[in-house]
Amino acid sequence: MENIYSTVNQGYAPKRYLRIADITRLYPIGRSAILNYGKQGLITPIRVTKGVIVYDANEIEAFFSGKKAEAQNAKA
């Protein structure tokens, strides 16, 4: 099935961003851990305004997929 954005935007899908509340709903992690990962440089915070920070959805998905893989490898 073809991605709807590939025909509309000539192959470029628009970037999706997640706020901290979105990330905490999707993954079993707290707000402070997300902020700490940003300070450590593990994920890239994007400051929109003084009180609003967003994260690239693809980067977050890749980060947590890698974390899951590491945890599964450690158990094996």
Q: Tens-of-pLDDT digits for all 76 residues of the chain?
A: 444 444 444 556 667 999 999 999 999 999 999 999 999 999 999 999 999 999 999 999 999 988 755 645 555 5
- In this structure, is residue 53 part of a structural domain? yes
pLDDT of residue 70: 62
pLDDT of residue 5: 43
Structural domain range at position 23 = 17-65
- In this structure, is residue 5 part of a structural domain? no
pLDDT of residue 6: 43
Report the number of distinct structural domains present in the chain.
Answer: 1
- In this structure, is residue 71 part of a structural domain? no
- In this structure, is residue 45 part of a structural domain? yes
Alpha-carbon span 32 to 3, nearest angstrom: 35
